[in-house]
């Protein structure tokens, strides 16, 4: 048993039958505002694809913002399901209202895979430069990176499907389309079926956790570090993955706030969900600095000409503006604001900080990927001869940035039309585990543990 000593008890009041009826009704009913937003996002996506068409076939130095946008979308959307995976392993209750919203980002992985293919084709050959595929063929990153990302997408979709099977059955029983009957796979809610679902969620969750870390490693290495001669850093892939955890939490804080404020799920998403996520959000913000500093200090004290050029390229030279924004938004401002309890108790304030961190994350990807793709001199794989000038975004780059980010949001919104963004069975289960009890003269919420 556990109690919450920080706030007044926030008991989820809806009965199980009411939860099913309410969530299904919200999933099926989409007003004019929803379709208006979908229409705007669709137009922006088309504009982004036009910009992408203008960039394809250009010099690789012109594809930096395309690479940075892909890395940003991968970092935020495909790392987001890890929030559900990690907190389900700890068997806590506060993650229940955001579990499905987190797993639903796996659908965006399909979109990421599509925009990844042209970028993979444009990736320069490994001949004449050092990569993680030292003894492999020149086509190794093109094949293995694609296989890695595709496997992650399949695993994410399997995780989403296995977690949503009981809800598909509820939609099937409430007169939903035939597609729900196929997705439910004959679900009847037997004890054996529930046990199999738990095993499947654990199995796919473990593989997704391993896969996302490894995919962060190959993307950061092949699409950024290996493009810069002399940039050999074993900490950088870890930093890329850790900043992905921070961005995933920021994505989920912002998503939870939008669902609570504009989606009509205020009764489902209590303040405790924001409070719990904010503490982990603070920890990842401090770790952002720790891993950045660990990589930076090695090059700073090395003082070799190639190491100084690498620091100039990604930190203090042509992309210093991106580095300053990332450093302030992802670390300084984030930590300073998150250390205060009143802010961590305010969903609106947390959503604002999350948006700030996401902006910082995008500029961090700009300094890492745009700078890498701007390097064209590969005469010597041991060090960088000179630091290229700043590559500022042009009209096609802005179209790509806005269009692809809009496309990711569009895919998520359309997926929420088919799959409930709130997990029906998990909220019904939560209703059975919580009680309000008096402790001396104060009411507290008592939560039972399923195991």
Q: How far apart are CA 58 and CA 54, in angstroms?
A: 8
Q: How many CB atoms lie within 10 A of CB 129?
A: 15
Give pLDDT, residue 56: 84
End-to-end Cα distance, the chain: 10
Q: 164-185: per-residue pLDDT in tens?
A: 999 899 888 887 678 888 888 8
Q: How far apart are CA 249 and CA 255, in angstroms?
A: 10
Q: 58-111: per-residue pLDDT in tens?
A: 777 888 999 999 999 999 999 999 999 988 887 777 888 899 999 999 999 999
- pTM of the predicted protein model: 0.90
The string of DSSP letters for 295-350 reads: HHHHHHHH--HHHHHHHIIIIISTTHHHHHHHHIIIIIHHHHHHT-HHHHT-HHHH
Q: How far apart are CA 165 and CA 187, in angstroms?
A: 7
Distance from chain centroid for Cα 366: 17
Low-confidence residues of the chain, pLDDT below 50? 1-9
Give pLDDT, residue 58: 74
Give pLDDT, residue 2: 42
Give pLDDT, residue 14: 66
Q: How many CB atoms lie within 10 A of CB 161?
A: 17
Give pLDDT, residue 177: 77
Q: How far apart are CA 68 and CA 55, in angstroms?
A: 14
Give pLDDT, residue 205: 92
* Structural Rg of the chain based on CA atoms: 23
Give pLDDT, residue 231: 85
Give pLDDT, residue 7: 47
Q: Is 139 exposed, middle or buried (0-12, 13-18, 19+ CB in 10 A)?
A: exposed
For the sheet containing 442-447, what is the strand order?
Answer: 2-3, 442-447, 434-439
């Amino acid at each position: 048993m556990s109690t919450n000593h920080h706030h007044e008890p926030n008991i989820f009041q809806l009965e199980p039958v009411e939860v099913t009826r309410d969530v299904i009704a919200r999933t099926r009913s989409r007003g004019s505002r929803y379709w208006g937003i979908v229409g705007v996002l669709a137009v922006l996506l088309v504009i982004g694809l036009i910009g992408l068409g203008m960039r394809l076939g250009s010099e690789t130095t012109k594809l930096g913002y395309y690479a940075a946008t892909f890395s940003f979308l991968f970092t935020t959307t495909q790392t987001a399901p890890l929030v559900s995976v990690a907190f389900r392993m700890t068997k806590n209750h506060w993650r229940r209202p955001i579990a499905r919203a987190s797993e639903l980002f796996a659908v965006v992985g399909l979109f990421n895979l599509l925009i990844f293919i042209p970028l993979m084709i444009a990736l320069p050959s490994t001949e004449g430069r050092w990569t993680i595929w030292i003894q492999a063929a020149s086509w190794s990153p093109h094949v293995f990176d694609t296989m890695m990302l595709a496997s992650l997408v399949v695993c994410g979709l399997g995780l989403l499907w296995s977690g949503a099977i009981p809800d598909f059955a509820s939609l099937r029983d409430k007169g939903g389309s035939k597609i729900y009957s196929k997705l439910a796979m004959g679900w009847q809610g037997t004890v054996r079926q529930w046990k199999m679902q738990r095993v499947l969620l654990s199995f796919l969750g473990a593989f997704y956790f391993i896969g996302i870390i490894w995919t962060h490693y190959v993307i950061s290495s092949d699409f950024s570090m290996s493009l810069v001669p002399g940039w050999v850093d074993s900490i950088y892939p870890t930093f890329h993955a850790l900043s992905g955890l921070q961005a995933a939490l920021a994505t989920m804080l912002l998503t939870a706030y939008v669902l609570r404020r504009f989606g009509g799920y205020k009764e489902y998403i209590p303040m405790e969900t924001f409070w719990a996520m904010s503490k982990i959000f603070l920890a990842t913000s401090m770790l952002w600095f720790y891993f950045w500093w660990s990589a930076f200090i090695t090059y700073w004290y090395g003082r070799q000409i190639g190491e100084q050029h690498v620091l100039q390229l990604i930190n203090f030279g042509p992309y210093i503006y991106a580095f300053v924004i990332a450093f302030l938004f992802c670390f300084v401002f984030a930590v300073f604001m998150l250390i205060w309890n009143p802010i961590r108790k305010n969903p609106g304030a947390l959503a604002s900080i999350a948006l700030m961190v996401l902006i910082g994350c995008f500029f961090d990807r700009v300094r890492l990927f745009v700078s890498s793709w701007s390097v064209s001199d590969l005469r010597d794989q041991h060090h960088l001869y000179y630091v290229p000038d700043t590559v500022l975004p042009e009209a096609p780059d802005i179209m790509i940035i806005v269009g692809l980010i809009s496309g990711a949001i569009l895919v998520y919104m359309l997926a929420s039309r088919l799959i409930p963004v709130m997990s029906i069975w998990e909220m019904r289960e939560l209703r059975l585990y919580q009680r309000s009890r008096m402790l001396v003269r104060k009411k507290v919420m008592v939560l039972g543990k399923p195991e």
